[in-house]
């Protein structure tokens, strides 16, 4: 397996960090990863190893305000800015793997971004994977908190707040939780602008799910996910008119790829890839 680092600079001057894991020979396809809130691409090295062993490359980047990328922690000027970041990410994918089939894979906040991106941009892809997507969350029942966030988004959009994400709700594996808490590249920060834009994007994606283009879609979710509710993935899948596979892993928490059952989860992902990526 080959591992390389790369980067690019956005038009607003922010420097982005990314990394690539690939087989020694040409990959069958490239899986382009968009990670979740507060984390970074380095937490997916084990996912990359499984994909590489199966003949795929994994290419990832740290979101603006995350990991080794620049920017205020947990902030974005707008959701459209995040979509433009994915534009540039896919351009980097094409630059490094010209002509290879590409798939977008997002988790949590990244899952919502990927679904939103495909609905808005309708890019040429071999497939889409979204796990633990931030389509429905506890925020839906916290109307006062949402109202305050909307007010602050207009008045103090860059005010740093704690995201409230519970590390214990990520995985049943205590080592995963301990590593997450101890990771210096992980943060629990979000600004009112990111919170409001992300909440609105999830609702918009659900409202427009029936417009999902004819691209194979795999949705996976932990049935006991208390961070992003599995009903979001269920509701989205029920509206997709084309090839959509929904797998709800009963009893699993938010990061299905980091649960004790992760080998089974990754095997399911690779089996889906093998069925949908041309030989």
pLDDT in tens, 199-238: 899 999 999 999 999 999 999 999 999 999 999 999 999 9
Answer yes or no: 24 catalytic. no
The answer to which of 21-25, 33-37, 51-55, 136-140 has the lowest mean pLDDT is 136-140
CB-based burial label for 25 (10 Å; 0-12, 13-18, 19+) = exposed
Name the residue with higher pLDDT: 151 or 10.
10
| CA distances to 94, 99, 211 from 125, in Å | 12, 12, 16
Among the options 40, 133, 225, 257, which is catalytic? Answer: 225
Weakest-pLDDT range from 74-78, 106-110, 134-138? 134-138
Active site residue 87: no
* pTM to 2 decimal places: 0.95
Query: Domain span at residue 154?
Result: 2-276
Query: Are 72 and 81 within 8 A, CB to CB?
Result: no
Any catalytic annotation for residue 108?
yes
Q: What is the CA radius of gyration of the chain?
A: 17
CA distance 161 to 233: 27
Helix and strand counts by DSSP (H, E) for the chain:
8, 10
Looking at the chain, list the stretches that DSSP marks H as alpha helix, in order from N- to C-terminal side. 45-53, 79-96, 109-121, 143-155, 174-182, 192-207, 230-239, 262-276
* pLDDT for the residue numbered 279: 75
The CATH number of whichever domain residue 254 belongs to comes to 3.40.50.1820
Distance CA 150, CA 22 (A): 42
Active-site residue, selected from the candidate residues 35, 221, 254, 257: 254
Predicted confidence band at 164 (pLDDT cuts at 50, 70, 90)?
confident
Q: Who has greater pLDDT, 155 or 51?
A: 51
The total number of structural domains in the chain stands at 1
Is 169 exposed, middle or buried (CB count within 10 Å of its CB: 0-12, 13-18, 19+)? middle
Confidence of residue 110 (pLDDT cuts 50, 70, 90): very high
Active-site option among 41, 69, 108, 137 = 108
State which of 41-55, 135-149, 182-196 shows the largest mean pLDDT.
41-55
Nearest to 78 by CA among 217, 212, 181, 200: 200
pLDDT beyond 60 at 162: yes
- Mean of pLDDT values over 9-18: 96
């Amino acid at each position: 397996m080959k591992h390389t680092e790369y980067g690019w600079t956005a038009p607003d001057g922010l420097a982005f960090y990314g990394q690539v894991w690939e087989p020694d020979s040409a990959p069958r396809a490239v899986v382009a990863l968009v990670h979740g809130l507060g984390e970074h691409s380095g937490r997916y090295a084990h996912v990359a190893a499984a994909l590489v062993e199966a003949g795929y490359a994994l290419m990832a980047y740290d979101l603006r305000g995350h990991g080794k990328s620049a920017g205020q922690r947990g902030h974005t000027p707008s959701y459209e800015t995040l979509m433009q970041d994915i534009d540039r990410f896919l351009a980097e994918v094409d630059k490094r793997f010209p002509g290879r089939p590409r798939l977008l894979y997002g988790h949590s906040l990244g899952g919502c971004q990927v679904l939103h991106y495909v609905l808005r941009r309708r890019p040429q892809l071999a497939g889409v994977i979204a796990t633990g997507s931030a389509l429905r969350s506890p925020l839906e029942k916290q109307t006062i908190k949402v109202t305050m966030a909307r007010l602050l988004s207009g008045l103090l959009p860059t005010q740093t707040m704690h995201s409230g994400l519970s590390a214990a709700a990520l995985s049943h594996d205590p080592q995963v939780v301990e590593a997450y808490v101890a990771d210096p590249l992980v943060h629990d920060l979000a600004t009112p602008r990111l919170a409001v834009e992300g909440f609105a994007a999830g609702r918009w994606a659900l409202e427009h799910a029936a417009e999902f283009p004819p691209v194979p879609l795999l949705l996976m979710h932990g049935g006991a996910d208390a961070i992003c509710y599995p009903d979001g993935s269920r509701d989205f899948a029920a509206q997709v008119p084309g090839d959509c596979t929904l797998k709800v892993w009963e009893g699993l928490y938010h990061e299905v790829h980091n649960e004790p059952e992760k080998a089974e989860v990754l095997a399911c992902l690779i089996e889906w890839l093998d069925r949908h990526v041309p030989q």
